[in-house]
Amino acid sequence: METTRHIIEFETYADISALPPEDAALLRQARTATKDAWAPYSRFRVGAAALLENGEVLTGTNQENASYPVGICAERTVLSVASGLHPNVPVLAIAVSYDNELAPSVEPIAPCGICRQTLMEYQARFHRPIKLILGGLSGKVIVVADSADLMPLSFSAKSMK
């Protein structure tokens, strides 16, 4: 038997004011995007802002449906927008924020499993990592340099060969 350990490295900042200016600007856009989320059932509004290699910033939000599995997360929304508007332009970073109408929105949140898989596919497409900037409406912020670090035992195209 062999035991393997996977360690994830990430940076933790006390709040948005401690971030590098470009990361702080992206997180502010994700925070603003939460206002456009459609979350009438969970009342958990999520916004994502993606910085593309061409310098453009796109936003996306979660879009709920009464049939919960039919909804889409903010991360996948913004990646779909990027793919549709700029199909050949890599995403360099994505900031994710949320507004939980039922509780304080002060702890960073991480992408769900489906979003992690989608991020990995998008990274594989462009052969470059996507940095994640994760935070709430206030409080600490986590920065992950490579979103693939969130899914160490991932399923990929290589798995199907």
Q: What residues are annotated to the active site?
A: 75
CA angle 146, 38, 21 (to 5 degrees): 40
Residues 144/130, Cβ–Cβ less than 8 Å: no
Looking at the DSSP bridge assignments, the partners of residue 134 are: 96, 142
